[in-house]
A = this chain, B = another copy of it.
Amino acid sequence: MSLRHALLGLLSAGPASGYDLLKTFEISLANVWPATQSQLYSELTRLDREGLIEVAAEGPRGRKEYRITGEGLAELRHWLVEEPPTQSRRSDMLLRVFFLDTVTPDQAHGYLERLAVQARKEHAALRGVREQIIGQGEDALRLYGDLALEWGLRLTAAQRDWAEWAAARIAALPHQSTVPTETLTETLTAPAEAIEPAAAE
């Protein structure tokens, strides 16, 4: 359960309300640990009940500003340095690759091309983010944000390169000529045809 640690982490930078935290999730944490409003509010209630955070102040429309407690900070640090990182490696994208032999090579090629395009877009978006924050306040909080951003850039670049490489490999297959896509629909219900192996890179 890392949602609680995400919340503790955000609150370690200063007090905030559920609404504030929700915005932060939508903007900066969306790509790392998405969370919904519903989930967020109930987790905050639980954290408060368990003493890891507390209500610092109450505002206008029932607004409750939470603050992290000493116990909460200790838990956050424990999670950071003690608990082994469990990368949940569930990948929709890669799962499909395993079964690409059930569709035509053209369709498989199309899938990989789309992955490459998507990776290029994401990479460009991250570059945009980097341009925006360049020259801004260079404090401790930014250093680690930069590391995360760099990871995003490297990951999307790797994904792009791999998808292009993989698409090219499929395009290099024999019997992969200029078949118009219209005629492929009727082959959909036929069993996947055997594919000759491509030469190693």
Contact = CB atoms under 8 A, between A and B. Distances in A.
Interface of A: 2, 5-6, 9, 12, 29, 31-34, 70, 73-74, 76-77, 79-81, 85-103, 107-108, 110-111, 114-115, 118, 138-145, 147-148, 150-151, 154-155, 158, 161-162, 165-166, 169-170, 188-189, 192-195, 197-198
A188 B77 contact: yes
A189 B68 CA distance: 13
Nearest to A89: B31
How many of these chains are in the complex?
Answer: 2
B92 A9 contact: no
A187 to B, nearest CB: 10
Nearest to A34: B90
A104 to B, nearest CB: 9
9 contacts: A5-B95, A12-B192, A32-B91, A76-B102, A80-B102, A100-B147, A139-B195, A151-B162, A154-B158
B144 A94 contact: no
A186 to B, nearest CB: 13
A148 B94 CA distance: 6
Contact of A139 (B33, B150, B154, B194): B194
